[in-house]
Amino acid sequence: MHPEVHYHAGFQIYVDGVKQDFNDSRYFHYQLCGRTDETDLSPAEEQIEKAHLHEGASEIVHVHRDGATWGDLFKNLKFEYDQSKPIVGYSESGVIHDILNSQILDKQSVVILIGNQHNVRELLNKRVSLEQIEEVATASESCGTN
């Protein structure tokens, strides 16, 4: 059994200046409220537990495994992009050059830019706020929809 890990972070992904929309049921992870038995998870279920989204919170990643990376989220969303384009992440503390191999941190808010970006400062000003992350975390603690 895994130690209890449950935290949240905000994210937005822009490709050539266009914000990607993850507000569709194909991106959401559904789990029965109160599930406690994690001893028999398949490798695919273990992967999805690392980083996933829930309905109603398409810009908040839920993390249930230590060491989960932004690359894990990309994998779980089945998010593909032109890998010949530059990719860089920005957080409150600055540039993250190797964003896909970077660990998702509790209450972190990142903006991931792929390709050509001309209005970086404007996009960073629109990132997910700490208040939005905490609101989802609070609902999640009470086994709400998040």
Residue 90 φ/ψ, nearest 5 degrees: -130, 135
Task: Say if 1 falls within a structural domain.
Answer: no
Task: Say if 146 falls within a structural domain.
Answer: no
AA identity, residue 125: N
Number of separate domains in the chain: 1
Task: Say if 31 falls within a structural domain.
Answer: yes
Task: Say if 101 falls within a structural domain.
Answer: yes
Task: Say if 26 falls within a structural domain.
Answer: yes
Q: What pLDDT, on the 0 to 100 scale, is given for residue 60?
A: 96
User: What is the domain range of residue 137?
Assistant: 7-141
Round to whole Å and give the CA distance between 81 and 115.
9
Q: What pLDDT, on the 0 to 100 scale, is given for residue 55?
A: 82
Q: Which two tokens stand for residue 81?
A: 């992009």
Task: Say if 2 falls within a structural domain.
Answer: no
Task: Say if 127 falls within a structural domain.
Answer: yes
CA angle (74 as vertex; 83, 34 as ends), nearest 5: 175
> Along the 146 residues of the chain, how does pLDDT read in single tens digits?
566 889 999 999 999 999 999 998 788 886 644 545 556 788 988 999 999 998 888 999 999 999 999 999 999 999 999 999 999 999 988 999 899 999 999 999 999 999 988 888 999 999 999 999 999 988 865 444 44
CB atoms within 10 A of CB 117: 16
Q: Which two tokens stand for residue 103?
A: 């660990």
- pTM, two decimals, is 0.86
Q: What pLDDT, on the 0 to 100 scale, is given for residue 145?
A: 44
Task: Say if 38 falls within a structural domain.
Answer: yes
